[in-house]
Amino acid sequence: MQKLRNFLLRHTLGAIVSSDVIRETKEGAIFLGSVKITEAEKAQLLAEAKAIEGMRLWHIMNETTKQLVLEKGWNTSTTLEHLNTAKTMYHTLDLQSSIIKTLKK
């Protein structure tokens, strides 16, 4: 399902999807863009991802903002522009979370 969503976002809207930034192969190799990272870089990024995810600042920037976007964008928006802005913000926050999840796999 996620592959279909990414395909549609990328090809119909020109949106950036997580696999444009970071992806993992079936063999476990991690690519940043088109560059394969080393095992040392992989370990460093995993440590950073775990640290960031555990910080209160991450929750403020990500989870709190997501909640506000949902409230303002879906519950109280009055124009299509408001809704589209909220969707864009939500996609960006989801992209950031996807990067962290990819590193933690």
In the prediction, which pLDDT does 52 show?
A: 93
Q: Give the C-alpha separation, 29 to 74, whole Å.
A: 38
Our CA angle for 52, 15, 36, nearest 5°, is 55
Q: Where exactly are the structural domains of the chain?
A: 2-104
H-run or E-run covering 32: strand 30-32
Q: Give the C-alpha separation, 77 to 87, whole Å.
A: 11
Per residue in 9-27, pLDDT tens? 555 566 787 888 888 888 8
Per residue in 41-97, pLDDT tens? 999 999 999 999 999 999 998 889 989 888 888 888 888 888 888 888 888 898 899
- Check whether 36 has a pLDDT greater than 80: yes
H-run or E-run covering 22: strand 22-24
